[in-house]
Chains A and B, each alone.
Chain A
Amino acid sequence: MVYKKRLDGRAIDELRPMEAKAGVIPNAAGSAYFKIGKTMCYAAVYGPRELFPKFLQNPEKGLLRCHYSMMPFSGSGERIRPGNNRRAQEISMVMTSALEPVVDLTAFPNAVVDIFVDLPQTDAGTRCAAISAAAIALADAGIPMKDMISSVAVGQVDGLVVADLMYDEEAYEGIVSDIPVAVMHNTKEITLLQMDGEISKADLMKALELAAQVTEKVYEVQKKALKEKFTSD
């Protein structure tokens, strides 16, 4: 079996349709809605605010903290029990380290900036969508950032290197690899890199080059959302 044509007919570098909006949650300091294909998320930034318990405080700079969570009805199978599970904790952690390199919290010693991302429906690529949404929300909140972070998964489905895998591709029979990547817009440095599956080094490097290209498309959507917010305000 060889994967020549994608299940939904997309080109190999074609992302699913995206939608983004900044400032969707009035209570938050900054917020965003981001949708890619059937994966949808809301992100809200609260803070900088005082950090408790106090021993976590850093007098040198503020702390960035991500909280990723799937809504109980957002999985493609049975209901997900709410609450923190191991997967959500790991994703929260890698999200935080994906965003930290561009966020400058030296002006906010002892404070915390919390980013909450919640997903009402999912179809693969949730951590990437969450990071892209969180980056819009951070910018919307006016948190000092030296670059933008855009994130999308790339991978290899039965020999074909593709961008933005959907669930049915991740579950495709044959050798599949799924590589969530986050990229800094200006420097093209990578701030999130995970992989599961199997891939050769040559295909991996090809996939990462593809990631650098296609995250630009995410960046354009993020930029547009922020522009719309600040021209309408």
Chain B
Amino acid sequence: MIVNRNTISELAKQHKRLDGRTLTEYRQPIAISTSISWTAEGSAKVQIGNTVVMAGVKMAIEKPYNDTSEEGGIMVNAELLPLSSAEYESGPPSKKAIELARVIDRGIREAKAINMKKLCIKPGEKAWFVTIDIITINDAGNLFDAAGLAALAALKSAKFPVVDPETWAIDYKAKTDVPLPLIKEPLPVTLYKINGALLVDPTAEEEQAFDARLTIASDEKGTVSALQKGGEEPLTLVEISQMIDIALEKAKFLRNELNKALR
């Protein structure tokens, strides 16, 4: 791994990568399928290269929060399954899992992607709460982008379950045709800085060699809805500007892949 780390770093300086990709090229295949779980209200499986991630949407009726009594809510959770990598262990969510969940959450929440008011059934009493669970099946790098893509695909495929209008009991086995009130479609793209070079879609090995990273969530109009910087090294304003340019272009590419898959 140490050898590869130095090699990856040296190659990056020459704008080359171990697997022969250009710096801004995603791995292949990119495969997106939706409705992969009949028990979820919405679900998706995303593959980017060897990285495989699932997302599932579950909905429940709960009492709205006091400060947003006319709105429903969303929650994002991520499970880095020990099934998906020798690095992961059973137990409470790691910092890495929490960061992943929160970054995906912010991308969706801050873009106001879901019309929270439309999730309200009865102000102050009943509203829909949407939980998105992100599950790793094989972590071969770039979980942020794969998870963001899976979360959006799952939200797009979700349908409300049938509700008894008198008891408010939910029949999870019967789905309506009503989709979630999704008004924007944010997607995260993560830029990695390795030895001065900026690249996308790192492999697990490249993730061991990065100096800094920046996740940029943006919607179809190019409005940025969430940022998250990671890594030990700082970023200059010039680098941040370049990273956002690449992220907006790559978000378009991923959005196109998603729309092709959903067609």
Contact = CB atoms under 8 A, between A and B. Distances in A.
B40 A73 contact: yes
Contacts of A46: 82, 86
Nearest to B93: A82
B39 interface: yes
A116 B140 contact: no
A5 B82 CA distance: 42
Contacts of B170: 78
B157 interface: no
A213 interface: no
A118 B56 CA distance: 14
Interface stretch (B107-115, B130-138, B182-190, B218-226): B130-138
A116 B52 CA distance: 16
Interface size class of A (residues with CB under 8 A): 20 to 34
A162 to B, nearest CB: 22
A144 interface: no
Contact of B133 (A27, A72, A76, A122): A72
B39 A27 contact: no
B83 A28 contact: yes
B77 A72 contact: yes
A72 B131 contact: yes
Contact of B56 (A67, A72, A76): A72
Given A42-B137, A73-B58, A67 B43 contact: no
B91 to A, nearest CB: 8
B37 interface: yes
B137 A25 contact: yes
Nearest to A25: B138
Contacts of B40: 73-74, 121
Interface in A63-82: 67, 69, 71-79, 82
B90 A84 contact: yes
A70 to B, nearest CB: 9
Interface string B189-209: 000000000000000000000
B23 interface: no
Interface string B157-177: 000000000000010110000
A76 B39 contact: yes
Nearest to B171: A77
Interface residues of B, number: 34
Given A82-B77, A121-B40, A26 B83 contact: no
B83 A116 contact: yes
Identify which of A27, A49, A117, A118 gathers the most chain B CB atoms within 10 Å of its CB: A27
B54 A120 contact: yes
Contact of A74 (B39, B41, B77, B90): B39
B82 A114 contact: yes
A16 interface: no
A38 B171 CA distance: 18
Given A78-B170, A78-B172, A120-B56, A26 B39 contact: no
Contacts of A9: none
B139 interface: yes
Interface string A133-160: 0000000000000000000000000000
A71 B78 CA distance: 11
A225 to B, nearest CB: 17
Contacts of A59: none
Contacts of A116: 81-83
A27 B131 contact: no
B131 A71 contact: no
Given A27-B139, A71-B37, A72-B79, 18 more contacts: A26-B138, A46-B82, A69-B81, A71-B56, A72-B77, A73-B39, A73-B41, A73-B133, A74-B37, A74-B56, A78-B58, A78-B60, A78-B170, A79-B131, A118-B81, A120-B56, A121-B37, A121-B40
29 contacts: A25-B52, A25-B83, A25-B137, A25-B138, A27-B86, A27-B138, A27-B140, A28-B138, A42-B137, A46-B82, A49-B86, A67-B82, A67-B90, A71-B37, A71-B135, A72-B79, A73-B41, A73-B43, A74-B39, A74-B56, A78-B170, A79-B58, A79-B60, A84-B90, A117-B83, A118-B135, A118-B137, A120-B37, A120-B54
6 closest A-B pairs (Cβ-Cβ)?
A73-B56, A73-B40, A116-B83, A79-B58, A121-B37, A72-B133
Interface of A: 25-28, 38, 40, 42-44, 46, 49, 67, 69, 71-79, 82-84, 114, 116-118, 120-123
